[in-house]
Amino acid sequence: MSVKTNLLSNVLNSIVEEKVEIVDLTQTLNEDTPVIQLPPPFKNTGGFKFMPLSEYDENGPVCYWNDFVAGEHCGTHFDAPIHWISGKDGDSVDTMPVKNMIGEACVIDITKKAEVNPDYCLTVSDIKEFEEKHGKISSHSFVLVHAGWDKYNDDHEKYFNVGEDGHPHTPGVSQEASIFLIEERDILGIGVETVGTDAGIAGTFDPPFPNHHYMHKANKYGIAQLANVDKLPARGAVLIVNPLKIERGSGSPLRVLALVEKQ
Ligand code: MN
């Protein structure tokens, strides 16, 4: 490549020369992809369905292609503010500023706590402990809660972890932590490895699903069903989160990429 000193050339050269690694944080989307199971009276999403058109056959001798039907909230996906009643006047995927689709990933590790207690919710003290080690979370950040849950992506029983009480038992974010990250840190949003950005039992909380309630009320975002979060450093990865531009879409399946500087 020609010698250039501008910013974007430096980024591109770093990618080409593999000084910057691109990490794929996306689950493979197929008909087995787990989708959130909400209790009554909620209607549930149908997930992902493939409908073949042709595969070099009589329906299209030279081409392979398919239609698909997908819930806005299936697989690795985005939650727009308008997804929640508290954010109903906020952005949908087509109106959100594109600048907010790229931000720093701040990865808070709660794997040990979630292993002991699958209902564990990120606390303000977890955030402060993270900041003592890694510095203050900046405003143009996505906070990724690394609970170790993506290791269950192919095991629906463990992924949903439904208990004898009929509730899924999966980790989430405490109400206090959501409010702290909104009011004190003004982050872009929260990312998780589970089917939703609240704990499995958060339907029983007051308000129900508090992270959805507060984040979306503040016109902030959610990212669910992330993979490979363990491949990111605690700070400094650049996250690219670009939902489909569905008119008035409440969310969208995503291909989430992170740019990680190699040490
Ligand atoms: Mn969702």
Structure token digits, residue 83: 């997804």
Q: Assign 89 a pLDDT band (cuts: 50, 70, 90).
A: very high
pLDDT above 80: residue 4: no
Domain residue spans of the chain: 21-45+72-261
CATH classification (class only), 21-45+72-261? alpha beta
Structure token digits, residue 208: 């129900």
Is residue 83 flagged as an active site residue? Answer: yes
Q: How far is the CA of 249 from the centre of ligand 1 (A)?
A: 12
Say how far apart CA 251 and CA 124 lie, in whole Å: 27
Contacts of 6 (CB under 8 A, 6+ apart): none
Q: How far is the CA of 51 from the centre of ligand 1 (A)?
A: 23
- Encode pLDDT of 183-224 as tens digits: 999 999 999 999 999 999 999 999 999 999 999 999 999 999
In the chain, the N- to C-terminal Cα span, in Å, equals 23
- Residue 214: name the closest of 177, 240, 246 by CA: 177
> Tell me, what's the pLDDT at 153?
87
Q: How far is the CA of 262 from the centre of ligand 1 (A)?
A: 32
Q: How far is the CA of 163 from the centre of ligand 1 (A)?
A: 22
Cα separations in angstroms, 150 against 14, 111, 190, 200, 224: 29, 11, 16, 15, 11
- Encode pLDDT of 20-57 as tens digits: 999 999 999 999 999 988 878 889 999 999 999 999 99
Q: How far is the CA of 27 from the centre of ligand 1 (A)?
A: 14
Give 3-state DSSP helix, strand, coil % of the chain, rounded to 5.
Answer: 25, 25, 45
Say how far apart CA 110 and CA 127 lie, in whole Å: 10
The residue from 73, 77, 83, 212 that is catalytic is: 83
Q: Are 43 and 206 in contact (CB under 8 A)?
A: no
Name the residues around ion ligand 1, CB cutoff 5 A: 73, 79, 224
pTM equals 0.95
